[in-house]
Amino acid sequence: MQCSIGAYIKRIRHGFEGAMGDAGMRTWPWMVAGALALTATTALATGMPAGDWWSFGRDEAGARYSELEEITPANVSKLIPVWTFELKPADSTSTRLLVSNTTPLVVNGMLLLATPHGRIVALDGASGALRWSMALPDGDMIAGRSMDYWPGDAKSPARLFFGTRSGRLLALDIATGRPAEGFTPIDLRTPEIMNGTRDGENPGNYAYEINSAPVLAGDVLVTASRLQESPARGPAGDIRGWDARTGKLLWTFHSVPRPGEPFHESWGGDGWERRTGVNAWSALSVDEARGIVYVPFGAPAYDRVGIDRPGANLFSSALVAIDARTGRYLWHFQAVHHDIWDLDMPVQPTLMDVKRGGKTIPAIAAMNKSGYLFVLDRVTGRPVFPVTERPVPPSSIAGEQAWPTQPIPSAPPPVTRQAMTAADIATVTPELEQYCRARVAREGATFAVPFEPLRADHPVIRFPGSGGGPNWGGGAYDRKRGLFIINTSELPSIEQLGRDEKGNWYNVAPKPSWFGMEGLKLPCQQPPWGNLTAIDVASGRIAWQTPLGITDGLPEDRRKTGRPNVGSPLATATGLLFIGASDDARFRAFDSGTGRELWAFRLGASAHAAPVSYRGRDGRQYVAIVSAGGSYLGSPNTASRLVVFALPRPGEKGVAAAASASQPEVRERPLPVPGPAAASANPAEFAPGPMKAFADSHCTSCHVPAQVTSQRKTRADWAATVEKMVGFGARVPDDQFDPLVDYLAANYPAAP
């Protein structure tokens, strides 16, 4: 049951005091003294110190670029893990390790970390020693990807801002971890945002939550949201600005223009009304000098069919520039018109200065899941490289008015393949080729050309699939070398439209929906299956591209395939590029100028997260990343910890950071090709049973029931699926996890 904001905050205070009591009263005077010094230092600062990391992208420009120079291409191979921090609380009785893709922040040598257990901890960046800890009440969780730090001013001390999965916006005093004085905590699920969706309608997997961190434009705090993907009517994806001192609402920007607002006509009929989606689920960026917020909007719901929303559907799948002080519209660039593929804007926009034709252009780089990088003048929105509206195929679905053209930049070229054919079927192993060709033949699937709409009469294989290409991790900008570097998956998806008994559209193609062998995680197209690409933004050319990741289960001479990945890179002034992201549980360093791999470390679990680099109070440079598996790739969560690296001091040995189990060994024998799932009594509803109500409330804000009830899996596979959904934000308490898995396995078992 949802409690009031006042009661919620009282419980936060109690959680804080309990955590400090557990730490022992002897630590309190030391912590306060150190924290007060921190507050005085940061409050007087005019800018971020080179050794700090204040937001998801380090600063609000989203460059993910560190100016520190101790670690270089010449010595990076000597890096060792110097300390770790387990995300699971020591007093937890749970046997589960929770997934996390969070990015820590660092302020004056203090590392601030949100855990998947609803806690924020402040740690000494050099030693990992605990300074303070804060716990949310009622099993609430902190927005998964990061937080945002404000250095304060003469009126207010430094603060840490973050959102929660229950749709709340909170602020902590950076010195103590207590709720910030003077800032009124906010329940973001206001009536005008919820659009008539009842509070508690989806009590387990909320229809409205914060997924990525808020951003700061001076003293204006800007928030976005993660929304349900189905049904199509629900909460609004509006962007809002708040006073960072008080929490007062300053402005609201409607992501779907209302009647009388510019571009309302891009929604035919009543398609705009109570439309959900068109939210910014990825990270926002800010031009602090100009006071502009840049918002990468997502697709409208439902994102595969637009019969009920004719038109271009602004501001869906578009980059929009907003005045940070007023919320006034400045300009937009729509990367996908009338999106019916879920090819939205998952990448945090990156601010950069581009030199072309003897001029320096204040630019911004934005990317959609197709892998096209749009380089725009960030003041006017005009493309730096010409963009052409290219004709694309019409839809075969009755009533669907697919947009006749889509924007394609003349440069840079896409960083991912745009289609595949039967000639591209993987021949990495005989069994993989046999499986993939048999699946195409059995399902009658065809290979789609770019922007070909989905069909109802047979499956289509499209490339890249709805997971990209690029995804939320985004890229890094090497400011010295003018290179934008981004990691991408090369994953096709196989999809076919159908409707359940309630008329809801969903993907009826046999699972898995990505085109590959699910158990062995082998995609059906020739490698590479994941890449790291550097783009020279001044010329619009690809500087280099290299596979990212290896397939451990293959023979050694065939392992360098690249791997599916999600997470972020980190560029440094010395010409290094650090990245985890790949599902092979490695953390790597590359030469950012050439793409040559210089160092790799085997983690306890894949690091689907963003690394940071910072300077400790001891003056040493550190690189840190969360290793906790999960993500939409479903990587095993065989560890759940923060791992911190540095160059060794004389006589220093690395701490233990256990390696993970290998990927499944590739079996040299044919595997069964999945056929149509056995029909449920009513696929539009979950089967009767003690967990039906739980499944109804926890699954349906992202899926229609038929997307679950059409699947057939072993209990182990259902357990992995539920863990994967927890990584997406589904709230499944420990005491409900096994009953839910048992219910799914009993009602939707794998074929014998």
Each residue's pLDDT tens digit, 616-651: 999 999 999 999 998 878 888 889 999 999 999 999
Note the pLDDT of residue 684.
Answer: 65
Longest dimension (CA), the chain: 72
Q: Mention every residue, 6+ apart, whose C-beta is less than 8 A from residue 570.
A: 64, 65, 66, 476, 577, 578, 579, 610, 611, 612, 613, 623
pLDDT digits (tens, 9 = 90+) for 481-539: 999 999 999 999 999 999 887 788 888 887 778 899 877 789 999 999 999 999 999 99
pLDDT band at 46 (very low <50, low <70, confident <90, very high): very low
Residue 64 has pLDDT above 80, yes or no: yes
Q: Count of residues for the chain?
A: 752
Locus of tokens 């790291």: 532
From residue 21, alpha-carbon distances to 17, 25, 111, 113, 395 in Å are 6, 6, 21, 20, 63
**Of 201-205, 276-280, 469-473, 709-713, the least confident:** 201-205
Specify if 720 maps to a domain: yes
Q: Which amino acid is at 462?
A: R
360: β partners: 355
**pTM score, whole prediction:** 0.90
Q: What is the pLDDT at residue 728?
A: 62
- CA 88/CA 90 separation, integer angstroms: 6
pLDDT over 50 at 42, yes or no: no
**Residues 563-598 as b or e (16 or more Cβ within 10 Å = b):** bbbbbbbbbbbbbbbbbbbbbbbbbbbbebbebebb
**What's the whole-number mean pLDDT along residues 32-46?**
34
Cα gap 364→601, rounded to integer Å: 33
pLDDT class of 1 with cuts at 50, 70, 90: very low
Residue 455 belongs to a domain: no
Nearest to 246 by CA among 159, 163, 141, 122: 159
Note the pLDDT tens digit of each residue in 687-709.
887 788 787 766 766 666 766 77
Cβ neighbours of residue 289 closer than 8 Å, sequence gap 6 or more: none
Q: What is the pLDDT of residue 228?
A: 81
Is the predicted pLDDT of residue 663 greater than 60, yes or no? no
Beta strands in 29-164 (DSSP E): 65-66, 80-86, 105-107, 110-114, 119-124, 130-135, 148-150, 159-163
Q: What is the pLDDT of residue 697?
A: 67
Residue 701: inside a domain: yes
- The per-residue pLDDT for 490 is 94
DSSP strand pairing (119-124 vs 110-114): antiparallel
List, in sequence order, the alpha helices (H) in 364-491: 430-443
* Segments forming the whole domain that contains residue 729: 692-747
Q: Please check whether residue 702 lies inside any domain of the structure.
A: yes
The confidence band for 720, taking pLDDT boundaries of 50, 70 and 90, is confident
Cβ atoms of 276 and 236 within 8 Å: the answer is yes
Residue 733 maps to a domain: yes
Category of 269 on φ-ψ map: left (φ > 0), alpha (ψ -120 to 50) or beta: left
Mean pLDDT, residues 155-163 taken together: 95
Per the domain annotation, does 644 fall within a domain? no
Look at the chain and report how many structural domains it folds into: 1
pLDDT band for 729, please (50, 70, 90 cuts).
Answer: low
Neighbours of 191 (CB within 10 A): 9
Residue 469 belongs to some domain of the structure: no
Residue 184 belongs to some domain of the structure: no
CB 269 within 8 A of CB 242: no
Binned at pLDDT 50, 70 and 90, residue 751 comes out as confident
- pLDDT over 90, % of the chain: 68
CA distances from 507 to 284, 448, 697, 750 (A): 30, 16, 20, 19
